Amino acid sequence: MTGRVQGKVALITGAAGGMGRTHAQLLAEQGADIFVTDINEAGLAETVALVKSLGVKVESALHDVADENHWQQIADQAKQAFGRVDILVNNAGIAMPRRLEDTTTQEWDLVMAINAKGPFLGCRTILPLMKEAGGSIINISSAYGIVGGPNAAAYNASKGAVRMLTKGAAIDLARYGIRVNSVHPGVIRTGMTEEYIDDPKIGEMLLSTQIQKRAAEPREVSQVVLFLASEESSFVTGAEYTADGGFTAQ
């Protein structure tokens, strides 16, 4: 049976673990060749081994998504290895639990650089590899990119920026047959969130905000990414998809 993204080339950032690894795994299971990047060398190697075991072509690179030169190196490597990119998943991001009054300028700049500047650089730098054949860009935002959350001033702002970057990019890139959409996860069990979910007080507070009173597994978000990467979403662009257990419905 032909996979839902058979023969396509997918570039996924922040793929050393968590949702990024699962995005890479699911897209590979559905037939895509994979290029994964991250700053975590050990985790990235584990992802490469997993994807390679699925029988598709895989490339990898260490990558600071806030660095413009790194992005150009990634684009050059992708062009040499695959000739094109059909799917770009801007997944890399960081969380910085801080109240507004406790957030330093340096922390603000760091969160904005990785979470907002990173997807901007990705969209702009990979565009030449997508122009000819079109494709799909999927920016991973957050439920907190739609509504506010406590102790997350910089994070909220960065993920809100991703949401609006997505809409602007969708308008600008439609002429090339490129669709651009954002995904907004809620509480997902990853290495970044486990300590909060498993904390009796914090975990109860987090899960109580969702209609479905549980944390999701990364694959539940990856299923949304797969839909947006595939031709099943051919008339979907500039949209935001929540995978948040109903948090933003309230």
Q: Tens of pLDDT along 188-206?
A: 887 767 666 677 666 676 7
Q: What are the backbone dihedrals phi and psi of residue 85, each rounded to the nearest 5 degrees, phi first?
A: -130, 130
Sheet holding 33-38, edge to edge: 58-62, 33-38, 9-12, 87-90, 135-140, 178-185, 240-243
Per-residue pLDDT, 190: 78
Tell me which residue range forms the domain holding 116.
9-191+219-240
Within a domain: 203: no
**Mean pLDDT value of segment 81-100:** 96
Residue 69's identity, in one-letter code, is N
Within a domain: 229: yes
Per-residue pLDDT, 1: 57
Q: How far is CA 2 from CA 8, 80, 89, 121, 149, in A?
A: 12, 26, 22, 33, 42
Q: Which of 144, 155, 196, 241 is catalytic?
A: 155
CA distance 52 to 110: 33
Number of domains, the chain: 1
Whether pLDDT at 94 is above 80: yes
Share of the chain above pLDDT 70, in %: 95
**Mean pLDDT value of segment 111-123:** 98
Confidence of residue 20 (pLDDT cuts 50, 70, 90): very high
Per-residue pLDDT, 171: 98
Per-residue pLDDT, 75: 98
CA distance 162 to 219: 21
CATH number, domain containing residue 134: 3.40.50.720
**Mean pLDDT value of segment 200-215:** 74
Within a domain: 205: no
Whether pLDDT at 56 is above 80: yes
Within a domain: 200: no
63, 114 in Cβ contact below 8 A? no
More confident residue, 212 or 156: 156
Within a domain: 114: yes
Q: What are the backbone dihedrals phi and psi of residue 180, each rounded to the nearest 5 degrees, phi first?
A: -135, 120
Active site residue 155: yes
Per-residue pLDDT, 54: 98
Least confident of 116-120, 216-220, 225-229, 232-236: 216-220
Within a domain: 207: no
Per-residue pLDDT, 202: 67
**Burial status of residue 137 (CB atoms within 10 A of its CB: 0-12, 13-18, 19 or more):** buried
Confidence of residue 209 (pLDDT cuts 50, 70, 90): confident
pLDDT digits (tens, 9 = 90+) for 150-167: 889 999 999 999 999 999
The DSSP call for residue 133 is: T
Instruction: Give me 236's structure tokens.
Output: 């979907």
Within a domain: 1: no
Per-residue pLDDT, 196: 67
Within a domain: 197: no
**Mean pLDDT value of segment 53-76:** 98
Whether pLDDT at 3 is above 60: yes
Per-residue pLDDT, 82: 98
Per-residue pLDDT, 188: 81
For the chain, the 3-state helix, strand and coil shares in percent, each to the nearest 5, are 50, 15, 35
Alpha helices in the chain (DSSP H): 18-29, 41-52, 68-82, 105-112, 118-130, 153-173, 194-197, 200-208, 218-229
